[in-house]
């Protein structure tokens, strides 16, 4: 028990008053342009807070993702909030899962293998072939291939997407040669492993933001149906298409590998399929094509019934895909676990869409409570249907219940998530997203009024951006338009920072923001511990606040 004991530094500077943390999901700080629904919204409460807030990084390495081009998400954001430090995500997490054997010991991998062995079917591996380490890495693919051979899979097909974007533009043949060597290494008279299809990443399969579903349709015809221009090998296909078109690898047309006029690797009923990219944005649409029953974007002909899994879950909010190989990181010694050992009473609330984020993900991917007597979790049932049709969602109900709890004095630390900015932002509907942000601001005003009444302190922040960046841009920052001249909506998260504000109407906590290089979400845990009167553990990222009277670690 001693490992959980935290030093008190002020006996609890809030006394019996509560600490409230408000997470405005998907509300980042954007470019103040036409695509920034946060800026365009009427938000007098946020405007009141803005002069005194600081900003936090909520993407890339600051939340454990491999590169600064990786968007944050609600899962890794709430992991960081609750863990107090950064855990590996994305490429690092896959590397560790393979090295430690967790990937192959996992239920999804084992079930895929059993499925294919029982059906006598083919295992298909689909993804970006390169070592760019932004969307995928070839070493992950090779590990899957070698382990499949060890497990007794007799037929395996690889469907490659050529890169030329995160790696040199004409490097595809280097990766194909290395892949062919691995396939030759494991192929025997009883083991048939081959490349089956391919094409440039900007032409087929890897669309994002619902920008061009025809790319996914081309990928479906190429990988699934095995329909397209046929070549004897991937090397022949790439070299021929380069010579004919003058295009670099990312724009190569689709191709199919065949023998005697027949594709060597179309996808059939009962096959297993793994999308081996770990980054989410360009894996979502093909995952949807494999998984969704009611699918509106193109006719899936053929439509084989397969067992499909992603390397990771690409969208935790929408649970895409449902099956994935690499589990979230193993996170221990979370802030809530520390707090229950100090006897701190906690209350967590959100609606269905984000309830798991203020509970499961906040607690380090742990189901259940640490102490039933000290913790209360409340889920407000979300509406069904499109969130752009009801952008207010359940923010008012969350606010009502939180106000009751604040006035009751029954809890020391209360955390809530308003999903509006994120869930409505995902629809791409800017007017609805503006209303979603305005709803959040209105509810925030009610909460801060109550905080003042009860003499408490509130922390206001977000887990990542979304509604702040809702129109696609080119590399120069100009908005992209479709063939009709209309803006192309962006429905993904953003790379923007998020606000962090302390609302202390009674002046109970003399403080200033600490000067931290690239402060991130993980520093919030030490901050709230400090406000609750505890010295944070040494291994937590430092508090965002310098508080008078407290000796900082």
Q: Is 483 left (phi over 0), alpha (psi -120 to 50) or beta?
A: alpha
Q: Bridge partners of 195?
A: 158
| DSSP state, residue 2 | G
Round to whole Å and give the CA distance between 402 and 236.
64
Q: What is the DSSP code string of 372-416?
A: TTTEEEEEEPPPPS-GGGSTTTTHHHHHHHHHHHHHHT--SEEEE
C-alpha to C-alpha distances, 549 to 7, 10, 253, 368, nearest whole angstrom: 14, 8, 66, 36
Catalytic residue among 2, 62, 67, 74: 74
**Rounded distance, CA 525 to CA 543, Å?**
7
Q: What sign results for the dihedral spanned by CA atoms 146, 285, 78, 367?
A: negative
Q: How far apart are CA 149 and CA 502, in angstroms?
A: 56
Dihedral sign computed on CA atoms, order 133, 58, 101, 151: negative
H helices of 246-292, where? 284-291
Contact indicator for 281, 71 with CB cutoff of 8 Å:
yes
Backbone angles phi, psi at 312, to 5 degrees: -135, 175
The enclosing H or E element of 85 equals none
What is the distance between the alpha carbons of residues 437 and 418, in angstroms, rounded to a whole number?
10
No. of helices (H) and no. of strands (E), the chain: 17, 17
The per-residue b/e assignment along 409-425, b for 16 or more CB within 10 angstroms, e otherwise, is: eebbbbbbbbbbbbbbb
Q: Catalytic: 373?
A: no
Active-site residues: which are they?
74
């Amino acid at each position: 028990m001693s490992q959980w004991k935290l030093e008190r530094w002020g006996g609890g500077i809030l006394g019996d008053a509560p600490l409230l943390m408000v997470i405005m999901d998907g509300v980042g700080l954007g470019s103040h342009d036409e695509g920034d629904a946060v800026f365009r919204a009427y938000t007098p409460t946020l405007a009141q807070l803005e002069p005194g807030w600081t900003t936090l990084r909520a993407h890339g390495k600051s939340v454990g993702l491999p590169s600064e081009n990786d968007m944050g998400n609600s899962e890794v954001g709430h992991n960081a909030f609750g863990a107090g430090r950064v855990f590996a995500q994305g490429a690092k997490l896959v590397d560790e899962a393979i090295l430690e054997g967790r990937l192959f010991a996992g239920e999804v991998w084992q079930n895929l293998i059993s499925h294919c062995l029982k059906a006598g079917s083919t295992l298909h591996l689909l993804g970006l072939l390169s070592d760019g380490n932004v969307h995928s890495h070839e070493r992950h693919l090779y590990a899957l291939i070698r382990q499949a051979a060890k497990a007794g899979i007799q037929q395996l097909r690889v469907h490659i997407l050529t890169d030329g974007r995160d790696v040199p533009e004409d490097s595809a043949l280097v990766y194909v040669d290395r892949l062919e060597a691995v396939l030759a290494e494991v192929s025997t008279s009883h083991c048939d492993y081959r490349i089956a299809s391919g094409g440039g990443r900007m032409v087929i399969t890897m669309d994002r933001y619902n920008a061009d579903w025809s790319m996914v349709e081309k990928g479906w015809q190429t990988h699934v149906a095995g329909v397209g221009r046929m070549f004897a090998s991937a090397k022949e296909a790439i070299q021929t298409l380069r010579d004919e078109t003058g295009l670099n690898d990312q724009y190569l047309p689709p191709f199919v590998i065949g023998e005697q006029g027949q594709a060597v690797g179309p996808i059939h009923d009962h096959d297993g399929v793994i999308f081996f990219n770990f980054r989410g944005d360009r894996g979502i649409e093909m995952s949807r094509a494999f998984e969704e029953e009611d699918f509106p974007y193109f006719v899936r002909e053929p439509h084989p019934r397969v067992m499909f899994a992603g390397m990771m879950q690409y969208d935790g909010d929408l649970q895409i895909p449902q099956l994935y190989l690499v589990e979230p990181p193993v996170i221990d010694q979370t802030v809530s676990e520390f707090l229950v050992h100090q006897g701190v009473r906690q209350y967590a609330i959100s609606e269905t869409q984000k309830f798991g984020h203020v509970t499961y993900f906040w607690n380090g991917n742990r189901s259940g409570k640490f102490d039933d007597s000290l913790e209360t979790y409340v889920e407000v049932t979300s509406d069904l249907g499109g969130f752009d049709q009801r952008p207010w969602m359940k923010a008012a109900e969350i606010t009502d219940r939180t106000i009751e709890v604040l006035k009751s004095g029954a809890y020391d630390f209360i955390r809530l998530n308003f999903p509006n900015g994120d869930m409505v932002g995902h629809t791409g509907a800017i007017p609805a997203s503006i209303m979603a942000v305005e709803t959040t601001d209105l509810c925030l005003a009610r909460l801060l009024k109550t905080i003042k009444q009860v003499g408490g302190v509130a922390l206001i922040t977000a887990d990542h951006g979304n509604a702040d960046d809702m129109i696609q841009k080119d590399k120069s920052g100009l908005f992209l338009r479709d063939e009709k001249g209309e803006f192309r909506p962006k429905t993904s998260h953003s790379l923007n920072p998020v606000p962090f504000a302390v609302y202390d109407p009674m002046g109970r906590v003399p403080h200033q923001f600490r000067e931290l290089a690239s402060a991130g979400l993980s520093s919030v845990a030490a901050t709230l511990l400090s406000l609750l009167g505890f010295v944070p553990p040494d291994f937590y990222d430092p508090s965002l606040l310098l508080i008078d009277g407290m000796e900082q670690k």
